[in-house]
Amino acid sequence: MSHITLIRHGQANSGAKDEVSYDKLSPLGHEQAAWLGAYLRETETHHTRLYTGTLVRHIETANGMATGLEPTRDARLNELEYFTLATMMEEQHGIPFPSEQGAFTTHLPMVFEYWRDGKIENPPETWDHFHTRVSDALTEIADGSGPALVVTSGGLIAMAMAQAMGLSIPAQARVALGIIHTSMHRLFPIGGHWSPVLYNAVPHLDRPERRVAQTHI
């Protein structure tokens, strides 16, 4: 097994309330991607492969990083459709979409639990399908040769960490909420299993003039 470094995309359209409107980088998101790419080059971080989801924000982030690697696009690395699920929660159960940032700490685990338990009718995909596609995609990448960069989204990264560590849904939601844009998360094979050896690393943003760029939303 090769180790995998998961990267959350740069800041997207944080004012959006639907999947399509959200799926593009903000000006800051483009800067975050460029800073990460520069850091990887300056530190001569060794990766031989690059994978991304097929969402615009994934592709724009990978392009901005300018790794020189030819990307492999894989729709299994796409984010769960949180906005769609949240809209269904509101329509089917009267649970409103959060109007302020702090409310996401209770809303996100609630969405996860309703989704997992089949309480959201006709979701874009089932919880089990999301769980399986994440595991299958990352297993195939890990079976390849050489360390890989994977540009994806926070929800998928949280699912990968939950699978590696056996996290409950409340814990998985807390992991997801803490993930910073363009942060790095490394899964390293130890004893035939993945062990998280890096979480939420943003060395490219860890300087005084860039700390305001350590964004979550």
How does pLDDT run across 77-126, given as a tens digit for each residue? 999 999 999 999 999 999 999 888 788 899 999 999 999 999 999 999 99
**What per-residue confidence (pLDDT) applies to 98?**
87
Select from 76, 39, 2 the least CA-distant residue to 184. 39
pLDDT at 11 over 90: yes
pLDDT at 139: 94
CATH number for domain 1-76+172-202, candidates 3.40.50.300, 3.30.450.40, 3.40.50.1240, 3.30.590.20: 3.40.50.1240
Rounded to two decimals, the pTM is 0.95
Q: pLDDT tens across 204-213, in order?
A: 999 999 999 9
CA-CA distances (angstroms) from residue 125 to 117, 133, 146? 13, 11, 31
At residue 16, does pLDDT exceed 80?
Answer: no
User: What's the DSSP call for residue 11?
Assistant: P
Given 3-state DSSP classes, what are the helix, strand and coil percentages for the chain, each rounded to the nearest 5? 50, 15, 35
pLDDT digits (tens, 9 = 90+) for 156-169: 999 999 999 999 99
pLDDT at 33: 98
Question: Per-domain residue ranges for the chain?
Answer: 1-76+172-202
- Rounded CA-CA distance 51/58 in Å is 9
pLDDT for position 66: 98
Give the per-residue pLDDT at 13: 86
DSSP state, 53? -
pLDDT band at 192 (very low <50, low <70, confident <90, very high): confident
**Residue 35 reports pLDDT greater than 80:** yes
